[in-house]
Amino acid sequence: MDIRNKVAIITGASAGIGLATAKLFAKNGAKVALAARSKDKLNKLASGLQNSLVVLTDMTKAISIKNMVKEVYNHYGHIDILINNAGQGFDGPVEHIGIKECRYIIDLNLIGPLIAIQEVIPVMRKQGGGVIVNISSGLSKMYIPNMAGYASIKSALNTISLTARKELADDKIVVSVVYPYMTATDFEKNTITSKNYNSKQEATEPDEENNNLPPPDSAETVAKNILEVVISERAEQFVRDWLATGK
Ligand SMILES: NC(=O)c1ccc[n+]([C@@H]2O[C@H](COP(=O)([O-])OP(=O)(O)OC[C@H]3O[C@@H](n4cnc5c(N)ncnc54)[C@H](OP(=O)(O)O)[C@@H]3O)[C@@H](O)[C@H]2O)c1
What superfamily in CATH does domain 7-239 come from? NAD(P)-binding Rossmann-like Domain (3.40.50.720)
150 assigned to active site: yes
The pLDDT value recorded for residue 204 is: 44
**Looking at ligand 1, which atom is closest to the CA of residue 19?**
43
Distance of CA 117 from the midpoint of ligand 1 (Å): 18
Q: Which of 37, 38, 68, 188 to mutate to test the pocket of ligand 1 (most atoms within 8 A of CB)?
A: 37
Residue 238, C-beta contacts closer than 8 angstroms, at least 6 positions apart: 138, 179, 244
What pLDDT is attached to residue 163? Answer: 98
Give the residue whose CA is nearest to atom 8 of ligand 1. 137
Neighbours of 163 (CB within 10 A): 11
Enumerate the domain spans of the chain: 7-239
pTM score, whole prediction: 0.96
Render pLDDT for 13-50 as a digit per residue (tens, 0 to 9).
999 999 999 999 999 999 999 999 999 999 999 999 99
In tens, the pLDDT along 60-102 reads 999 999 999 999 999 999 999 999 999 999 999 999 999 999 9
Among residues 150, 179, 181, 197, which one is catalytic? 150
- DSSP string spanning 54-103? EEE--TT-HHHHHHHHHHHHHHHS---EEEE-----EE--GGG--HHHHH
